[in-house]
Structure 1
């Protein structure tokens, strides 16, 4: 995870649902249903995938709908192998049907309903695997089958936040970011353009909300935290035509700046957003090109120009987004590129990551309302440039220590046991595959060994990363104690998992603070009591 403010500026480098309604990646809702992605009717799209690793749409796309171009071969396509580094674990794609996580608030009947629905969805996806394996299967074939299982049930591993989100100070004497050593500037002008995918698949639903509405709500939430002098514009694509071949030309031509880049006007942006509907095709290349041109008009010395694209799929309009990203990077316009893959699958994730890398930008995957808002908050972190100077006192030090300790605690709570949910899901999936004769018993045993190995690796890697965070926090707090009395600007915690933070994000994607967390808890208890009443009936 990248550091914020100037680190973000200088270094910025879904899973979709299956055709059946698989449980989504977010299992934080205490309702008795799993978080389900519901497919839109008629012309709307299904899940997005690709039958190759190229960023362009395929050459035979003239006879396909946008949906078909995105789906490709799905679970039977070329699926990337997992990488066991901390960054790849927490930033990796999530399965179509990740295993559910049992919350304390669930009643017995709720949990039974959740697991039964998940198991049904998982089994329907495993049954789609075309190549069956016998005892003479090669190691390569077994590895690929394991990748297919991860494509279906892989978990969403939470990142352990960097300590800059715990809270920190900037010393006036230094005027540099304490974690990157980059120079910082007060009151720099920030220009932002957010680009929203309005292709047909954004009409899919997660927990009763369309992905389009989730994205709109997340953008509106993030705007509340931007500085008043920021200039913000909004571009959308795919909002005209339709997602069939007959509407492709009109849809691919629809790449429009619907709100100009001007001094932040939250109500005007929200109004412009309200009329956008999920409709057609995906034009990422034009979004990068047009967005870069929009921002290149702002040439103030020291200004920060940020282009952030939210998309749930890959290019289907024939453009080359990698080339567009490279052109943007080499244009000298000093535009920072960010791409969020919203509910993308493993194949799309790999393609979008390459686009961001080509532009020297930042890429992140977001699988639900909460993680989408959390990722978009990076824009507000990058624009935070108003400093209130005061002496570093013992009160400040105590406050920072309290923030760091609570953030460490809530981060540990967020990732603890996450590998166990995936282990159970993979075990269920491989057991089903063996029962249905999709694999032999010999292959089953080899896959089960790989499942055990993966769980142990991930548990170790996450534990080691958390230990690093503890050490980094202690070192940082010890270092600043010796500078008591110097002029500092105090930056409060921007943690997404700590309910004491103004940047706390609940499962719904709405920000808040400790009071919002208490409300979530009260609702959970109320739901639990209601469920217990129903169980007794």
Structure 2
């Protein structure tokens, strides 16, 4: 083989080796996995206007911490913030905290928004106006009191058992009824026991202790001593029995219930209340939930609404007395059949005062919600300090952001309350003017 041939072969071999190397390099490059870039975490910017703060609702972890206190709260906050990055700026930390721990203020604000500032006196006047002056005479006011005598009413609140507190409140309420009113006391769940073996007996126990008639202090007191808290809770059966108690008593009927729990006898108190209210008796069903849990409050509220009445929850003897004196007495007053009294200016002023008091209670709920959130957010800030997630300078800025939110929400709630109160005052003035202009023509002799 000559030199020329050797040179050609060498050139061919070089090209082959070069191609092989390129192919190998390409294969290795192609087989090497591509590195994924880390996802960039995004945190929603916290709202800066109070209206948006309320609309935002609860943070992601609010339900986990809202009922915790002390060490349990600190432990849960520590667990929920352990993955927060270090060296956070105040605004980033604030956004994270609000997204995670903001309270739900919507219910309290909505309750104020929905608060009814109208007066039944106006509705009554318009009804009379539509009758073209036709004289309308009504019978006396009939008041039916239904009292829960189930075993749980033996429980204590404010240093006394619930049954004793309820009896005292009802005695005071009945004693304050108009002289021309009739009153009836019916109790339920007062027989047997709250054991399963006595359920049938207890669920069938609903009994009139004071028959419908004028109030007599001695007789009413004696009727209250005839029973003790014992068994189950046949609320539906008691409402159904009240409908029979009022048969033939069309119009001017009202039912008041004191209960510390839900129906436990398989009845349907919502349907029973609805049927009573829609019947020719047209009674309104008003309920006080005495030391009732959340589930009980929801059911009793639904019963009252179905019965065209109102529900209020109380947790102490004082609150029970206050509720009976304010809302129950107001409802009784509004149900008075003497038209001249219902169109009296003092009646409207009294009603307006009662509405203002109820509105302030809603306002207090709003403030409590805002204050509780403020304390929670500051607890979270302290945990970030303990974990050294931020510099002291940024922590100070964070504290100012939290306080600014607190101030904005308080001012917003105050403005909302004041606007509603102003609307109530305006409506009160309008109704008083209406009464002054039309009372003489509307009165029943």
- For Structure 1 versus Structure 2, the TM-score category normalised by the shorter chain is 0.5 to 0.7
Distance 2:350 2:253 in 1: 31
Larger radius of gyration: 2
Query: 1:114-129 alignment to 2 at 5 Å?
Result: 123=70
Cα 1:417/1:462, change in 2 over 3 Å: closer
Contact 2:352 2:424 in 1 (8 A): no
Distance (whole Å) between structure 2 residues aligned to residue 253 and residue 432 of structure 1: 52
Change in 2 beyond 3 A, CA 1:161/1:431: same
Conserved 8 A contact 2:128-2:442: no
Contact 1:126 1:429 in 2 (8 A): no
Q: State whether structure 2 residue 247 is matched by structure 1 residue 292.
A: no
Q: Does 1:272 align with 2:223?
A: yes
Residue matched to 1:423: 370
Cα distance in 1, alignment partners of residues 347 and 252 from structure 2: 28
Q: Is the 8 A contact 2:326 2:354 kept in 1?
A: no
Shift of 1:409: 12
CA-to-aligned-CA distance 1:215-258 (integer Å, 9 cap, x gap)? 21221122123233322211112223333445434332322222
1:194 is paired with a residue whose SS is: strand
2:418 is the counterpart of 1:463: yes
In the TM superposition, residue 470 of structure 1 has moved relative to its aligned partner by: 1.8
Report the number of matched residues.
348
> Which residue of 279, 287, 311 corresponds with 1:339?
287
User: Is 1:319 equivalent to 2:267 in the alignment?
Assistant: yes
The offset of 1:463, in angstroms, is 1.6
Alpha-carbon distance, 1:450 to partner: 8.3
Q: Does 1:348 align with 2:300?
A: no
| Conserved 8 A contact 1:238-1:279 | yes
In structure 2, what is the Cα distance between the partners aligned to 1:334 and 1:364?
Answer: 21
Q: Per-residue CA shift, 1:415-438, capped at 9, x if unaligned?
A: 69734444334433565588789x
Indicate the residue corresponding to 2:176 in structure 1.
225
| Change beyond 3 A, Cα 1:409–1:232 | closer
Partner in structure 2 of residue 375 of structure 1: 327
- Say whether 1:385 aligns with 2:340: no
Would you say the 8 A contact 1:339–1:352 is kept in 2?
Answer: yes
Tell whether the 8 Å contact from 1:186 to 1:387 is kept in structure 2 after alignment.
Answer: no
Q: Cα offset for 1:326?
A: 3.6
Q: Could you state the TM-score of these two structures normalised by the residue count of structure 2?
A: 0.59
Q: For residue 359 of structure 1, what is the aligned residue in structure 2?
A: 307
Q: Paired residue for 2:214?
A: 263
1:23 maps to: none
Q: Is the 8 A contact 2:203 2:232 kept in 1?
A: yes
User: 2:181, 2:405 → 1: CA distance?
Assistant: 50
Whether 2:156 is the aligned partner of 1:205: answer yes
Deviation (angstroms), 1:212? 1.9
- Cα distance in 2 for residues equivalent to 1:234 and 1:405: 26
Structure 1 or 2: larger helix share? 2
Name 1:236's counterpart in structure 2.
187
> 2:377, 2:124 → 1: CA distance?
52
Point out where structure 2 has 5 or more consecutive residues left out of the alignment. 1-53, 56-65, 85-95, 391-397
Asked if the contact 1:190–1:230 (Cα under 8 Å) also holds between the matched residues in 2, the reply is yes
Structure-1 residue corresponding to 2:13? none
* Equivalent residue in structure 2 for 1:193, among 144, 150, 159: 144
Kindly state the Cα deviation for residue 466 of structure 1 after the two structures are TM-superposed: 0.1
> What RMSD over aligned residues (CA atoms) do the two structures have, in Å?
5.4
Q: Give the direction of change, closer, same or farther, for the CA distance of 1:176–1:350 in structure 2 (3 Å limit).
A: closer
CA contact (8 A) 2:257 2:287 kept: yes
Query: 2:74·2:379 contact (CA, 8 Å) conserved in 1?
Result: no
C-alpha contact 2:363 2:417 (8 A) present in aligned 1: no
Distance 1:288 1:408 in 2: 27
CA separation in 1, counterparts of 2:73 and 2:284?
A: 40
User: 1:306·1:337 contact (CA, 8 Å) conserved in 2?
Assistant: yes
**Does the 8 A contact of 1:239 with 1:254 survive in 2?**
yes
Higher RCO, Cα 8 Å, sep 6+ = 1
For the 8 Å contact 2:141–2:337, the answer to whether it is kept is no
SS in 1 for 2:427: helix
Deviations 1:63-116 (A, max 9, x none): xxxxxxxxxxxxxxxxxxxxx89xxxxxxxxxxxx9xxxxxxxxxxxxxxxxxx
**TM-aligned CA distance change 1:160 to 1:294, over 3 Å:** same
